[in-house]
Structure 1
Amino acid sequence: MRSTLYIASGLAILLLAGCGLFRSKLPRPLPAPLVEIRPTVIMKVVWQGSVGKSQGFVFTPGVAEGNVYAAGADGQLMAFDSATGRSSWRVDVDKRLSGGVGVGSNLVLVGTQKGELLAFDNAGKALWKIELGAEILAPAEIDGATAVVRTADGRLFGLNIADGKRKWSYQRVTPPLALRSFAPATVARGALFAGFSGGVVSALDLETGRVGWESIVAAPRGSTELERIADVASAPVIDGAQVCAAAYQGRVACLDVSSGRTLWARDTSSSAGIAVDEKYLYVSEESGALSALDKKTGASVWKQDKLSNRRLGTPVARGKVVLVGDGFGFIHALSREDGSFAGRLATDGSALTAPPQVADNVVFFQTRNGGLYAVAVQ
């Protein structure tokens, strides 16, 4: 019997395969109160839209060719003008959606709870669909003629974007207990990089699915199955000649992109994800702290712990600040140099768990309640 542990913005849920859904909310530590700040940047909502609620899933907006595409669990798929927020089109797919949105040149992909991948063009016209046999939780990644899709059972599929036909598939054996990951693979340099249960990052050829290398970011340790969870549950980040990743109850590490050799590693725990800029690597830690590390050595630069237990999402660096959403609907701006608070913006009060997307100096956030926010920092 395989179990899956959900760690989504501080909420842990145990899924017993074949035995239905057993929901058990673990005791939550009280979130740190918001401290008074003196803003040094202006955070402005350029426009705001609304799609369906996520209903326990994580939906990431897709940005391509001047449009923002967003979806909700109720089956609504919408397109917005990225500059103005004007709704271009809306499609009701008449299915319960669970993952998305993947975007490419004239291609929009969303996944369903029943394991179907649905393809549309950038005008909302249905193109094709394919059944992959397991729930699709992460947005597809598209590069060239290939779309890479991840299913909830840990499989990766390489599909032809023209018709959805399968090129290859790949699967690692998962341990008895694992995190439920909403993270996509990362595509770059004709390869894809994906994190897995057991603290593993794998590099695969995009066209063939052949494994180039596998490396352990964090080895499982502990005496119980819960203690031994050490999953890479967020998307790896490519930074020049290195690929960096973080593991829950494990480490954050940067690896040589060609060989998988570990360049440096540092103990921490993160399922929310990391970001890099020209100097630093930023980690949203499980405790709620946001840390900056020297991306060349892993040395600590600063740590902001006044957001403890606020269930931070994936950070993103913009201008002089790093932005991060929390589980209570706030977007925080921290100085990239010392981690001090530079600004704060309230959204609709629901969790900001989806990784933010960036285009034309605007950062796009999607909330759990379906709010879509285009945010500029000045």
Structure 2
Amino acid sequence: MRNTRPAALLALALLVGCGAAQEPALPGTRIAIRDEAQAANVARPISLPAARQNPTWPMRGGASDHAAGHVALSGLTPAFATPIGQGDTRRARITAEPVVAGGLVFTLDASSLVSAVSAASGGIAWQTDITPPYARSGQGSGGGLAFGDGRLFVSDGFGRVSALDAATGTVAWVQDLDAPGSAAPTYAGGRVYAMSRDGRGWALDARTGRIDWTVESVTAGANFSGGAGAAVTGDWAVFPFASGEVIGTFAEGGLRRWSAVIAGSRPGFAQGIAATDIGADPVIDGSRVYVGNASGRVVALDLDTGERLWTATQGATSPVVPAGGSVFFVNDIGQLTRADAATGTSVWQVDLPLFEEDNPRRYQTRWVHYGPVLASGRLIVASSDGVLRSFDPVSGALTGQVPLPGGAASAPVVAGGTLYVVSEDGQLLAFR
């Protein structure tokens, strides 16, 4: 997968435009980005809650708080592969992970085509193209999905949120956010919570699409396609913004209770300069909120006050998984990580494949790793290099791997004992 960072593209354009001559290599020893000092890995015992049977996976992170917990998975034998539309291209990419409800798996391709697929057989139940009349197919790459109260809510790269009848695909309403908004929406308590990239969070009436209230942050420059979405539980809604600000509000009325800024980058790593975006959706676990940026920070906040409890000097681009007194995530330099939930200190870090090329002068294609999901006693990571890997949560040891045709374009989700993932070539893959 091509990981095209906006800042990197701008820098390249400036160099080409100026016709700069190639400079000689600087003297000294080259140190890989993973060679920085870190604590030795520890195989620390863990007491995981029992794996629960979850018939649905209705939104990103498995629930409105984004804390899926430990779910049951029957196996990892390929069950079906169903084409769901346009795969990744140079101009468009898939950013939505599948959601599962009512015996259907819902997907969004790279060209705004929504599909409903039978969870049992892999057959297509319906498809709806949500491209607006004024646009061409493929122009609005990006978006996400959430299910609630019989409807499928879809954010898209055109800056809109649509509600579709989950049984038929018929569009019930469309709300324009007046700005690109491709983070996955969140459904809770009769509202749809959405993000737009102009520094606004939205609460929409799920029945009509009308705006209940909004919350605002400052706008930001460079950010990542897809972005992070709001986490909601009980009275709380927590919004992440591309500026690095996280705002805690009352879900009823949107009154702002606290604000925190997640700032900082990994020293010596150029990606840390590119974006301040919150890359890992907030995860609410009890009285804590876990959230990370894309450049080198994961933090734990107090849900009631926003007070920072700890900071880990590594980033994350997917929601963390809290379980058994630990938090698990893939960090900003492609390592599967286990950290202590009480302190944020690393327990172990496991390297995942990083670059396609072995020659550092030809580093162009960086593998992307999605997840993890904690299922039946193992951590599962889906990767764009075409492998689905399983790891031991105690030690981080690799315990198994299966081919993932086409390479992953989304995080893996688990529902009804089956794992689903969307591939870069536009297929829904099922394993059970």
The TM-score with structure 2 as length reference comes to 0.73
In the aligned structure 2, how far is the partner of 1:259 from the partner of 1:9? 39
| Residue 186 (structure 1) aligned to one of 231, 237, 240 | 231
In the aligned structure 2, how far is the partner of 1:332 from the partner of 1:71? 24
Alignment of 1:118 onto 2:162: yes
| CA-CA distance at 1:270 after TM superposition | 2.4
Alignment of 1:151 onto 2:192: no
For the 8 Å contact 2:231–2:239, the answer to whether it is kept is yes
In the aligned structure 1, how far is the partner of 2:116 from the partner of 2:222? 37
Alignment of 1:355 onto 2:420: no
Question: Per the alignment, do residues 185 and 177 of structure 1 end up closer, same or farther by CA in structure 2, a change over 3 Å counting?
Answer: same
Query: Would you tell me which structure has more helix in proportion to its own residues?
Result: 2
Q: How many residues align?
A: 353
In the aligned structure 1, how far is the partner of 2:75 from the partner of 2:105? 23
What CA deviation, in whole Å up to 9, does each residue of 1:29-51 have, x standing for no partner? x9x9xxxxxxxx95222333221
- Other-structure match for 2:55: none
For the 8 Å contact 1:13–1:23, the answer to whether it is kept is no
- Other-structure match for 2:262: 217
For the 8 Å contact 1:109–1:139, the answer to whether it is kept is no
- Other-structure match for 2:307: 261
Structure possessing the higher radius of gyration over alpha carbons:
2
Question: Per the alignment, do residues 13 and 368 of structure 1 end up closer, same or farther by CA in structure 2, a change over 3 Å counting?
Answer: farther
Alignment of 1:162 onto 2:213: no
| CA-CA distance at 1:121 after TM superposition | 0.9
Alpha-carbon RMSD: 3.2
| Residue 71 (structure 1) aligned to one of 100, 108, 115 | 108
- Other-structure match for 2:379: 322
Question: What percent of counterpart residues are identical?
Answer: 24
Q: Please tell me the residue identity of whatever aligns with 2:311.
A: A
| CA-CA distance at 1:183 after TM superposition | 2.1
For the 8 Å contact 1:152–1:181, the answer to whether it is kept is no
- Other-structure match for 1:60: 97
For the 8 Å contact 1:272–1:312, the answer to whether it is kept is no
- Other-structure match for 2:143: 99
In the aligned structure 1, how far is the partner of 2:2 from the partner of 2:233? 28
Gap regions ≥5 residues in structure 1: 1-7, 33-40
| CA-CA distance at 1:375 after TM superposition | 2.6
The TM-score with structure 1 as length reference comes to 0.83
For the 8 Å contact 1:270–1:283, the answer to whether it is kept is yes
In the aligned structure 2, how far is the partner of 1:14 from the partner of 1:136? 20
- Other-structure match for 2:126: 89
Alignment of 1:238 onto 2:266: no
What CA deviation, in whole Å up to 9, does each residue of 1:313-361 have, x standing for no partner? 23111122111112223211111111111111222233x2423323223
3-state DSSP class of the match of 2:384?
A: coil
After TM superposition, the structure 1 stretch with the greater mean CA deviation from structure 2, 60-69 or 176-185, is 176-185
For the 8 Å contact 1:177–1:225, the answer to whether it is kept is no
Q: Please tell me the residue identity of whatever aligns with 2:372.
A: P
3-state DSSP class of the match of 1:268?
A: coil
For the 8 Å contact 1:284–1:312, the answer to whether it is kept is yes
Question: Per the alignment, do residues 240 and 63 of structure 1 end up closer, same or farther by CA in structure 2, a change over 3 Å counting?
Answer: same
| Residue 171 (structure 1) aligned to one of 210, 216, 228 | 216
| CA-CA distance at 1:363 after TM superposition | 2.5
In the aligned structure 2, how far is the partner of 1:300 from the partner of 1:272? 17
After TM superposition, the structure 1 stretch with the greater mean CA deviation from structure 2, 340-349 or 212-221, is 212-221
Question: Per the alignment, do residues 108 and 217 of structure 1 end up closer, same or farther by CA in structure 2, a change over 3 Å counting?
Answer: same
- Other-structure match for 2:39: none
3-state DSSP class of the match of 1:227?
A: helix
- Other-structure match for 2:67: none
3-state DSSP class of the match of 1:235?
A: strand
| CA-CA distance at 1:65 after TM superposition | 2.7
3-state DSSP class of the match of 1:43?
A: coil
- Other-structure match for 1:282: 328
For the 8 Å contact 1:317–1:323, the answer to whether it is kept is yes
Gap regions ≥5 residues in structure 2: 17-31, 35-73, 356-366
Question: Per the alignment, do residues 289 and 23 of structure 1 end up closer, same or farther by CA in structure 2, a change over 3 Å counting?
Answer: farther
Q: Please tell me the residue identity of whatever aligns with 1:44.
A: T
